[in-house]
Amino acid sequence: MQQSARNKLINVKMCKNEGIDDFIDRFNVLRFEARVFEEHMLCQFFLSALPTPLSHQLSMFNATASNKKRNKIKFLMEDAQRLCNSAANRLVISTKGPSNIRQRDVTDATTKTSNKNIVPTVPYVVRSSYAYKRRNFLKLQTVFNNLGAPQLFLTFSCNDYSPDFAAAIDTQYPWEDPVLFANHFKRKWTHFFNTYVLGHFATMIGGVKDFSWVLEIQDRGSPHIHCVL
């Protein structure tokens, strides 16, 4: 069984229409099933699984980085997400705009900057990915099938202009970098959820058997996380 999992890890490839976050989730499952923990070997498997342009970019960055920890798999995965997410920002525009938008409407041909009237606001890696929706639907369906209907429905909202987010994003408005903004909110919320909801709050209500949540970003407001317990 372990040898079979190891072979899958060695031969794994990122699919053409697969998002980087979905692929990293799949890669992590395979590496734990295969019981492979050597950092150098994991980095080699991870790079060989990526498309050639992305793999080359990561290899060059990893070789020139001053941080000696750059050869660790977690840093390599973060760099891959950063490269892919920056590309996502250029591809996604506000749904409030007209339906016949072209590239010249989004990016100024001279300055190569985004048109501030049509700022990217909805990163596909967060909301519009089919794989993301499918994965969360299956998890919620599993909760219903095994435990019945959830007992609590919770919604968590983000304050776009809090000093914490302003310092993390380093832009005048958080939505100028939507992917980084959403990922930062997700990290902050995950810590809060694990510490307070699954910790202190769970003991007050008699425990939490399972949960499911989804991150949603809307044009009319900040990111929300909808969660059922």
pTM: 0.47
Residues 6+ positions from 40 with CB-CB distance below 8 Å: 71
**pLDDT digit of tens for each residue in the chain (229 aa)?**
556 777 777 788 888 777 777 787 778 778 777 777 777 788 888 888 888 777 877 777 665 554 545 557 777 777 777 677 555 444 444 444 455 556 666 566 676 665 655 544 444 445 545 556 666 777 777 778 888 877 888 888 887 777 777 776 666 666 666 666 777 788 888 888 888 888 888 888 888 888 888 877 665 557 788 888 8
At residue 169, the pLDDT reads 64
Q: Are 24 and 81 in contact (CB under 8 A)?
A: yes
**Using CB atoms within 10 A of its CB, is residue 177 exposed (0-12), middle (13-18) or buried (19+)?**
buried
